[in-house]
Amino acid sequence: MIKRYISIFVFAAFVVNAVAMPCAASSESARQPNQNTSAGNDKTVESARKSLLDTFTERRALYENIGTMTGIPWYNLAAIDQYERTLSFAHPKTRPLRDGLIAIYMNEVKWVGLMNPDHEDTKPRSIAYFDGFGRDGDGDGKADRNNDADVLYSVAHFLLQYGTSSSDFNIGLWEYYENSRSVERINQFARIYGKYGTLDLHRHAFPLPLGGDYSFRSTWGASRSYGGYRIHEGTDLFAHYGMPVRSTCFGVIEVMGWNRYGGWRVGIRDLNNVYHYYAHLSGFNKNFREGDIVEPGTVVGWVGSSGYGRPGTQGKFPPHLHYGLYRDNGLTEWSFDPYPHLRKWEREERKRRKRK
Ligand SMILES: [Zn+2]
């Protein structure tokens, strides 16, 4: 029973926050299978999915609204909001997730202005006088830090000072974050949202074709010999040469080329600011290049044994796909164990197939 409550709780948290860590958050519940209540679990999954879609609909309406007011395309606003969500997940202590539809975070001082003696100030005129960011986005005469429309409009208002073209947008982003990684991420997210025209882009696929002859186990943290002491930051999936390697997520190809350790490798950035790393490939899908957008199941290359030497080096170890996951917190990146996610995506994909 306790387990079920935990699952429901995790799902609820997952839905409310939809969706900075779909893999991590939802795998918590998936890691605790309960055969006796699988029908009940299916229902929970279904209702979680439904409220997630409702959240996306409401959020989208807000982006469109503020977009109409400011002339900033909805997908650019969506990208900023989603980027902020990933930052809040990476820095839960210093950036608590707002209790609302959107995740854009400004502390009180930023909102009301540095010298403003009233930290709860909601009067647009005095906030503007003290150079605060807070603005009134929903026309109720208040600039309320707890109001989604006000928060989103305030950011949009700041960006508009720099103009309305896409390069102006980037200048505004740089001025807002003072970090070129932030500008890059928001651009990547905006392109993904723009291409698919929806916020519902958090499905995953398993990196190898289901039913293929592959095997993998948890190899996180094992030591390895090449290139000095480095722990094994990923999962090795052993398979035959030439087995297709597929994107596990909606994302942008950030890297495609040779690396001394990884051989021919592909790096894909997803909407959770997670970098998916596929190494030791025998070759790439020539239809794609850096900057292209992929989706779950898109074939990006083929299993091989490249790496551990000069470009083209092969066969220093049995063929396998090395799959790694790295989270960006806005300043640095760190790896986390892909194994539980791989198991979960494999299970989910199998389920989806059965349904079809
Ligand atoms: Zn490996």
pLDDT of residue 222: 75
Domain ranges of the chain: 2-106+145-196, 215-355
Q: How far apart are CA 145 and CA 143, in angstroms?
A: 7
322 CA → ligand 1 middle, Å: 4
| Contact indicator for 232, 220 with CB cutoff of 8 Å | yes
Q: How far apart are CA 218 and CA 236, in angstroms?
A: 8
pLDDT of residue 232: 83
As its CATH architecture, domain 215-355 has Distorted Sandwich (2.70)
- Listed range (19-28, 58-67, 83-92, 188-197) with the worst mean pLDDT: 19-28
236 CA → ligand 1 middle, Å: 5
321 CA → ligand 1 middle, Å: 7
283 CA → ligand 1 middle, Å: 17
Q: Answer whether the bond into residue 19 is a cis peptide, omega within 30°.
A: yes
324 CA → ligand 1 middle, Å: 8
Collapsing DSSP to helix, strand or coil, 7 comes out as helix
Q: Which residues of 307-329 are buried (b: 16+ CB within 10 A; e: fewer)?
A: bbeeeeebeeeebbbbbbbbbbe
Mind listing the pLDDT tens digit for each residue in 287-304? 999 999 999 999 999 999
Q: Which pTM was predicted?
A: 0.86
What is the pLDDT confidence band of residue 97, given thresholds at 50, 70 and 90?
confident
351 CA → ligand 1 middle, Å: 27
Mean pLDDT estimate for the chain: 88
67: CB partners within 8 A, 6+ apart = 73, 74, 76, 77
